[in-house]
Structure 1
Amino acid sequence: MNITIVHYNTIPVSLYGGTERVIWYLGKELAKLGHRITYLVEQGSYCDFATVKAINHSEDIWLQIPEDTDVVHFQHQPNITENAKHPYIVTMHGNAGSNEQLDTNTVFVSKNHAERYGSTTFVYNGLDWDDYSSPNLKKEEYFHFLGKAAWRIKNVRGAINVVTKAKNKRLKVLGGHRFNFKMGVRFTLSPKISFYGMVGGTQKNELLNKSKGLIFPVLWHEPFGLAIIESLYYGCPIFGTPYGSLTELISNDVGYLSNKRSDLTNAIENVTTFSNEKCSEYAIDCFNSKKMAISYVELYEKAVSGIILNIEKPKLKNAQNSKFLEWYE
């Protein structure tokens, strides 16, 4: 098939770039499977295994899609589907507002994500583990937080408290700084906490590879969480909250979930009860880019055949009453 992937950002990934990382590996795997890939993305993008075309924001997006495209894969909700000239699907990477109706061909990134919008259509994100360094299962004496610390829903303060309340434990924060005036002059003086800002590539992988585990006490329904599978790949069990995809992805074999700080502190003090090998094998087997690509091909074939992926337009079934989900210090 000729597949056009549309995304309003540049590729390849810069630093973390979750969606960009996913669609890069998706296109790479699709090309290996014999499909021809075109990326319709922002100016400045480049790729050695696909055709790259820059988006013109002054022109209808449908007019920019190559004529020989068999199926279009949007990474955002298309504004005008009445103009659709090709079969298409839409991956929903985040959480939509309570009043937003999504396209009938929307695909979610976890079962929990789909169910919250009344859908059963989802594909797990996958990564190309060949691009990552080999897991080192000999760990140093620290845990890590991975995410945009400026987003309060990621709860970096909770992660810090989980570790500072534990005996002889340290935390490395990947994705934030010790001082953040935008967050109400947030600062952390504890010497047990180190900050690395937004890191990516080799530096990020090296930090994950030596970590004992990921502290991930999110205060929203996480749609998927690349931080989860990257950490698992490097043999890190997950210590997080029971929200969104975490209840689905994290079993007792590879992590511990609670919305109570004291429970998570106790759990990390017993981190040696988890198998680093089992965590890594789980990520490699279940969240690889080839598996993701094969799942998407099945949905592409449905779209080309005229099959609608959702009978009704997906819409959030139960609006969250508060800005943040419960967290008990």
Structure 2
Amino acid sequence: MRIAQVASLYEPVPPPRYGGTERIISYLTEELVKAGHQVSLFASGDSITTSRLHPIIPRALWEDSQPCANPLVYHILLLEEVFKHKDQFDIIHFHTDFFHFPILRRLDVPHLTTPHGRMDFPEYIPFFREFRDIPLSSISYAQKQGLALGNWVGTVHHGLPLSLYQLNENPSDYVVFLGRISPEKGVDDALAIARMAGLKLKIAARVGLGDDAYFEKLLPEFKKKNIEYLGEVTDKEKNELLGGALALLFPVCWPEPFGLSMIEAMACGTPVIAYPHGSIPEVVDHGVTGFIVKGVEEAVDVLRQIHSFDRKRCRQRFEQRFSAQKMAEAYISLYQKVIAQKRK
């Protein structure tokens, strides 16, 4: 199959540190190439891939030292480049939000769009009522529940290369928070859980866009005893950090669309302790890959018994459910479905 993957230009594919969407695009692209498909990746020029790369700009916008006054102009160039080559593909897979929708309607090539964020915003209702003909794939069942009128053709959970992270059956004496410093990610609850449990907390996270004031508010907490703020970490550092942790704390208070760090922890055999919001109940197998709790006190109770957790079983369940190969195979099935629908 001839497949185009279209990424935004904010981060390279894959990103050097934080960037869940671009990381998934990379894993999917490489797995499709490995399976023998002809894949083209439309992304920034500093992306690394075994597919055919169509570089739109030399460096990703958030990696470039030169400020960009209007990122939209480069993303319009991205679309123009995709459409110049449209006849070379059996399907075009977009990971670029929704600004391409008006053009897709006028495109005779099969296409699929995967939103990677939450879908329950009020302004999405009139937008997707207008564009209900555009085929969408969700990254969790919970994500698409936020927008029932979307033209959802399927759901594909994220997956990771099995060799990316290794099982660690002998963790250290700390818990970890990994991801983004934003109110909805629950860093304050992670701090409370670690404090009440009497455990060290390592925080590996990037400050979310527009969340500088929230970060400044938390900064005094980060400087307290038994708290270590690491900033962003690489995959190699993440493997050691997650593998050495007693648990990943994931106390989100928003409709989490997926939560990539959860399956990264599972790959290391590290249990996830999470609140039951958004996709958490469908990603975490309670008692097997982690524990779904309703608040700080329940999380602390779980941590008191965490040394009996079967980390090997956790890794095995991760391999069964969240491999990059399984993700790629699921997308191929969706591509075939979309292509068949286009031919009718």
Using the size of structure 1 for normalisation, the TM-score is 0.86
Q: 2:201 aligns with which of 161, 168, 171?
A: 171
2:316 equivalent in structure 1 = 281
2:142 equivalent in structure 1 = 112
1:3 equivalent in structure 2 = 3
Tell me, in whole angstroms, the C-alpha distance in 2 between the residues paired with 1:305 and 1:172.
49
Tell me, in whole angstroms, the C-alpha distance in 1 between the residues paired with 2:252 and 2:283.
14
SS at match of 1:292: helix
Change (3 A) 1:218 1:65: farther
Tell me, in whole angstroms, the C-alpha distance in 1 between the residues paired with 2:212 and 2:28.
38
2:302 equivalent in structure 1 = 267
**Percent identity between the aligned chains?**
27
On the 8 A contact 2:276/2:293 being kept in 1, the answer is: yes
1:124 equivalent in structure 2 = 157
| Mapping for residues 24-43 of structure 1, pairs under 5 Å | 24-43=26-45
User: CA shift at 1:194, angstroms?
Assistant: 0.9
Change (3 A) 1:290 1:93: same
Tell me, in whole angstroms, the C-alpha distance in 1 between the residues paired with 2:193 and 2:116.
28
Q: 1:235 aligns with which of 258, 269, 275?
A: 269
1:54 equivalent in structure 2 = 55
User: CA shift at 1:25, angstroms?
Assistant: 1.1
On the 8 A contact 1:176/1:195 being kept in 2, the answer is: no
49-58 or 245-254, which deviates more: 49-58
Q: 2:110 aligns with which of 77, 81, 87?
A: 87
1:160 equivalent in structure 2 = 191
Change (3 A) 1:283 1:54: same
On the 8 A contact 1:228/1:238 being kept in 2, the answer is: yes
Q: Higher relative contact order at CA 8 Å, sep ≥6: structure 1 or structure 2?
A: 1
Q: 2:240 aligns with which of 206, 209, 225?
A: 206
Tell me, in whole angstroms, the C-alpha distance in 2 between the residues paired with 1:249 and 1:11.
24
Using the size of structure 2 for normalisation, the TM-score is 0.82
| Mapping for residues 184-263 of structure 1, pairs under 5 Å | 184-186=216-218, 187-188=220-221, 189-253=223-287, 254-263=289-298
Tell me, in whole angstroms, the C-alpha distance in 1 between the residues paired with 2:260 and 2:320.
15
Large movers: runs of 4+ above 4 Å: none
SS at match of 2:163: helix
SS at match of 2:53: strand
Structure 2 residue 70 is the aligned partner of structure 1 residue 70: no
Q: Structure 2: any 5+ residue segments left out of the alignment?
A: 57-73
14-23 or 207-216, which deviates more: 14-23
> Residues 259-305 of structure 1, C-alpha deviation per residue, up to 9 Å, x if partnerless?
32111111111112321111111111110000000100011111111
User: CA shift at 1:239, angstroms?
Assistant: 0.8
> Residues 225-260 of structure 1, C-alpha deviation per residue, up to 9 Å, x if partnerless?
110000011111111111011111222222222232
Structure 2 counterpart of 1:201, which letter?
Answer: D
Structure 1 counterpart of 2:189, which letter?
Answer: G
